[in-house]
């Protein structure tokens, strides 16, 4: 009988000692997995964002050069007025309103309804928006190249 009581006490003590260790291990594993997942997603997004931003910046630079070289009047006659993005990120944001000015809280509130949208839906929408903008801008860049002086 005494051995049974000792065994029961030992089991309870063992559980008291190991439970915090299990919880700490779970917490650390969870945090490590979360950080790895975030880092992976960040790396993918950063790479795609950098490529898109670089192309949009090139497009903006080409438009600005055409404005300077050809003059504002000729740019307007080519249909290029208002085509330069104030900021490159405004050119390929699926969630942002399609305006080329400083955004207000009201603009953002009315931009895209986020209710009933999952993160995956938003990511896919952004990928599609970026792909469409990049395709359009790459065509325009080829067209603009014909107006730039050859080096």
The model's confidence at residue 106, banded by pLDDT at 50, 70 and 90, is confident
Q: Is the pLDDT of residue 105 over 70?
A: yes
What digits encode the pLDDT tens for the residues 6-17? Answer: 888 888 889 898
Cβ atoms of 68 and 145 within 8 Å: the answer is: no
Q: What is the structure's pLDDT at 85?
A: 57
Cβ atoms of 128 and 47 within 8 Å: the answer is: no
Higher pLDDT, 132 or 82: 132
Q: What is the structure's pLDDT at 87?
A: 56
Write down the mean pLDDT value for the chain. Answer: 72
Q: Long-range contacts made by residues 45-51, C-beta under 8 angstroms, separation at least 24?
A: 48/127, 48/130
Q: What is the structure's pLDDT at 47?
A: 80
Rounded distance between C-alpha atoms, residue 7 and residue 21, angstroms: 21
Rounded distance between C-alpha atoms, residue 71 and residue 67, angstroms: 5
How much is the pTM? Answer: 0.42
Rounded distance between C-alpha atoms, residue 134 and residue 55, angstroms: 7
């Amino acid at each position: 009988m005494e051995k049974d009581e000792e065994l029961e006490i030992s089991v309870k003590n063992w559980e008291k000692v190991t439970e915090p260790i299990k919880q700490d291990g779970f917490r650390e594993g969870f945090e490590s997995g979360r950080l790895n997942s975030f880092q992976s997603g960040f790396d993918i997004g950063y790479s795609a964002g950098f490529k898109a931003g670089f192309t949009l910046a090139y497009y903006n630079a080409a438009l600005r050069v055409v404005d300077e070289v050809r003059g504002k009047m000729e740019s307007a006659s080519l249909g290029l007025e208002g085509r330069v993005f104030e900021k490159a990120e405004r050119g390929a944001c699926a969630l942002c309103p399609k305006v080329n000015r400083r955004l207000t809280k009201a603009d953002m509130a009315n931009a895209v309804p986020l209710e009933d949208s999952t993160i995956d839906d938003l990511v896919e929408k952004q990928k599609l928006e970026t792909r469409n903008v990049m395709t359009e801008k790459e065509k325009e860049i080829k067209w603009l190249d014909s107006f730039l002086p050859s080096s």
